[in-house]
């Protein structure tokens, strides 16, 4: 089955700086890679996703890149703000986010220092 590794487990950055979280996956058949943000006491919320036919996707301060050959994808957050503090999860799926379910990384606790 799919295995997703995520690094780092904790990331502390100064407000206004950029943050990068990296993930690798094992199953070359995976074709859907979402990123979730989980705030304390809440469920994971989808912030951006990318499919295997795209190398990069951007949404305001958030961007995701995908390298299919190396089987890794990354989340980039620019101009970080205090409200970006949360746990971030990467995930991978074969069926494009459908019935097969998502395999999650172990999460990155992002801390934005004022």
Partner 1 sequence: DTAVSQTPKYLVTQMGNDKSIKCEQNLGHDTMYWYKQDSKKFLKIMFSYNNKELIINETVPNRFSPKSPDKAHLNLHINSLELGDSAVYFCASSQGLKGYTFGSGTRLTVV
Could you list the residues that contact partner 1 (CB under 8 A)?
A: 32, 34, 36, 38, 41-46, 49, 51, 87, 89, 96-104, 106-107
Minimum distance, C-beta of residue 16 to partner 1, in the bound complex (Å): 27
Q: How far is the CB of 12 from partner 1 (least distance, A)?
A: 17
Q: Which residues pair with 72 in a beta bridge?
A: 24, 67
Q: Which residues of 25-61 are buried (b: 16+ CB within 10 A; e: fewer)?
A: beeeebbbbbbbbeeeeeebeebbbbebeeeeeeeee
Which of 24, 44 has the CB closer to partner 1? Answer: 44
The least CB distance from residue 71 to partner 1, in Å, is 20
Alpha-carbon distance of 72 to 111, in angstroms, equals: 23
Q: Smallest distance from the beta carbon of 109 to partner 1, in angstroms?
A: 8
- In the complex with partner 1, which residue's Cβ is closer, 14 or 26? 26
Q: Are 31 and 52 in contact (CB under 8 A)?
A: yes
Nearer residue to partner 1 within complex by CB, 3 or 14: 3
């Amino acid at each position: 089955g799919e295995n997703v590794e995520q690094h780092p487990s904790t990331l502390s950055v100064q407000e206004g700086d950029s943050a990068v979280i990296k993930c690798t996956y094992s199953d070359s058949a995976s074709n859907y890679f979402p990123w979730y943000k989980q705030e304390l006491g809440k469920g994971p919320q989808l912030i951006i996703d990318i499919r295997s036919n795209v190398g990069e996707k951007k949404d305001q301060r958030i961007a995701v890149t995908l390298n299919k050959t190396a089987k890794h994808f990354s989340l980039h957050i620019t101009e970080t703000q205090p409200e970006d503090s949360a746990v971030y999860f990467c995930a991978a799926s074969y069926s494009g986010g459908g019935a097969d379910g998502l395999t999650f990384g172990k999460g990155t606790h992002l801390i934005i220092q004022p």
